[in-house]
Amino acid sequence: MPPSRDRYPSQQRRGKRPPPRPKRGAAPQDKRPRTPAPRVVFEDQHILVVDKPSGLITADPTTPNADPRRSLFGWVKRYVRRDRGPGRHAWIIHRLDRDASGLLVFAKSERAFESLKEQLGKRAMHRVYAAVVEGEGEPTATEGTVQTYLVEDRDGRVRSIGPLAGRAPVGRDAQFARPAITHYRVRERGRGRRMLAVRLETGRKHQIRVHMAERNMPIVGDRIYGRADDPLRRLGLHATELGFEHPITGETVRFVSRPPASFYKAVGALPPAGTPDDTPTEPTEVADFPDETGSADEGWETVAEWYDDLLEERRSDHYDDVILPGALRLLQRDRPPTGLSSDNHPTTRVLDIACGQGFLARELAGAGCEVVGLDASPALIRAADARKSAHEQYLTADARDLPELTEELGGRATFDAAACVMAIMNIDPIAPVFEGAAAMLREGAPLVLVLLHPAFRAPGRTGWGWERHGPSTRQYRRIDAYLSESSEEIVMNPGRAAHGHKPVITQTHHRPLAAYVRALASAGFTIDAIEEWASQRTSEPGPRADEENRARREIPMFMAIRAIKSSARLSSS
């Protein structure tokens, strides 16, 4: 007898028949192997490190009527709630593709969540993957680095839209592009395949899969980006190493998950003999991997002084996704002869004011410029010097004393462009900075400033708030003061200071936009561009995520000003 219509109403409406009821004792029809259970690698009251099996999604599924328990995060939430006491909640820090496997860390306290997210955003996490790819390649080719801008299409596929090379992305997709850097080293080869050790410098969606496919070595089992065979019956990608600073103790911790034996067999190699699956092997040393500047420790070895903490706090996804691409674009003015490395100026000389550890200077040098960076901190200059290329020069100098550099630079004291990125708020007064820059720039050259938005992001004067807005809740930005100038002490390492480390305190100075306009005009500059940039971060899924993302895109975080040196000079009055 067929089932009644009201028994399966949704299926009848769609014209589908209900699934047949299996006979008692019959084997299930689905012959696919069941996904193994996750393995807990480490746990304390604040963090949980898990070895994810292939075939299990990381976050809760978003498809309609999906069971949230059928995800690693669902499993983790059930796992941490099994005990009474502290640490009974869980937060996602990062993710792995469904068909990938390996190590993930989850937070069990808010302190741990904030610290781990901060480390991930600052590229302070050590993450190494094993990847089995097609093609043995040249026997002498043992390592490489892929650096491109990635953009995600509407269908969820990711693609590159051009190399980094110190340049901003171009084209209609440029505003959605994100920089991505992948380092790899060949570990084994055979049977027409290679097994790679891959280190991520950034963590974009499908980054390894896209970069390897674009190097003509797609990951085996990758049905999206061009696999030719599937010897593993899964994606050949496994997160083998995970390292970070413990969010409470400050201790550096490392965890290892050996690649599956099938990875070795796929390239005709034997798995390490005598090593049980649950016995960690020695983690890969960071120095095994190349980087974009040729320095084995750049971005991975910590500097033993306080200033590295400061810089690690300041360098973030905001720099990589918003600040650096925007600053480079503004310096690349379309009208010659000011464009970087233009025909009229094949080697553009750029002055990086308050350069810090040289993040912008290295990008500019990669674009073919000669760069002179200066900073008042000798420690920061030493850090920049340790990583500089042949096209970079760093000097210890106060940004308010630029004319004094003329003698030290000799006949090379004239520049084609200048920039002061995320530093002008920490300098007072600003008039000498702009006057000194004008003295060192040729006529028609740009000065680019990037700063926290003076209206919406003034420390101590603005903040987020929530209010009811009809049936929903609306997030807004509260502004308590704007026109008056002020100074505030800022803790530059809030994450580590909250965990007992010595706070690094600097002074930031709030000024309204009019103060910058007056000072630039008085120094002989004409402003030709003002841009307001929003954060590109997105909130983790939750009831307020959509509203937080809306507010984040509507209320800018940064302001960029491009001023051109002109012959006219206004009175400071």
C-alpha–C-alpha distance, residues 565 and 439, integer Å: 9
Cα–Cα distance measured from residue 106 to residue 46, given in angstroms and rounded to the nearest whole number = 9
Whole-Å CA distances, 42 to 101, 109, 151: 17, 15, 35
Write down the pLDDT at residue 359: 87
Q: What is the pLDDT of residue 568?
A: 54
91, pLDDT greater than 70: yes
pLDDT above 70 covers what percent of the chain?
73
Strand 370-375 and strand 349-353: the pairing is: parallel
- What was the pLDDT predicted at 469? 76
What one-letter code names the amino acid at 252?
A: T
What is the predicted pLDDT for the residue at 285? 37
Span of 11-25, 52-66, 290-304 with lowest mean pLDDT: 290-304
pLDDT at residue 402 in the model? 86
Backbone angles phi, psi at 353, to 5 degrees: -85, 130
Domains in the chain: boundaries: 39-288, 306-454+510-538+557-565
| 416-469 pLDDT tens trace | 999 999 999 989 899 999 999 999 999 999 999 999 999 998 887 888 888 887
- Which residues lie across from 450 on neighbouring strands? 421, 560
The answer to whether residue 490 scores a pLDDT higher than 90 is no
Model pLDDT, residue 137: 66
Does residue 114 register a pLDDT over 90? no
What pLDDT score was predicted for residue 284? 37
For residue 330, pLDDT beyond 90: yes
Instruction: List the one residue out of 472, 533, 119, 45 whose CA is nearest residue 324.
Output: 533
Tens-place pLDDT, residues 380-410: 888 888 888 899 999 988 898 887 777 677 6
Q: What is the pLDDT of residue 12?
A: 34
Residue 21 has pLDDT above 50, yes or no: no
pLDDT in tens, 32-85: 445 678 999 999 888 999 999 998 999 865 444 445 557 899 899 888 887 645
User: In this structure, are residues 441 and 353 in contact, taking their beta carbons and an 8 Å threshold?
Assistant: no
CATH 3.40.50.150 for domain 306-454+510-538+557-565, yes or no, is yes
Distance CA 99, CA 324 (A): 33
Q: Which residues does residue 563 pair with via DSSP β-bridges, in sequence order? A: 447, 527
153-162, 165-174, 362-371, range with the lowest pLDDT: 165-174
Q: Give the pLDDT score at 470.
A: 78
Out of 10-14, 87-91, 464-468, 501-505, pick the least confident. Answer: 10-14
Q: Is the pLDDT of residue 305 over 50?
A: no
The pTM of the full predicted model, rounded to 2 decimals, is 0.49
Selected catalytic residue, list 51, 97, 317, 352: 97
Q: Taking residues 321-331, what's their average pLDDT?
A: 93
pLDDT-derived band at 491 (thresholds 50, 70, 90) equals low
The three-class DSSP label of residue 351 is: strand
Tokens found for residue 330: 């503004």
Residue 97 bears catalytic tag? yes
Instruction: Write the single-letter amino acid at 253.
Output: V
C-alpha–C-alpha distance, residues 563 and 526, integer Å:
5
The superfamily in CATH containing domain 39-288 is Pseudouridine synthase (3.30.2350.10)
Torsion of CA 531, 534, 536, 541, to 10 degrees: -160
Report for 317-331, 488-502, 518-532: range of highest mean pLDDT? 518-532
Where helices occur in 163-260 by DSSP H, the ranges are 207-214
**pLDDT for 202 beyond 70:** yes
Confidence at 243, pLDDT banded by 50, 70, 90 = very high
Selected residue with higher pLDDT from 122 and 509: 509
Residue 140 has a pLDDT of 65
Tokens encoding 188: 């084994």
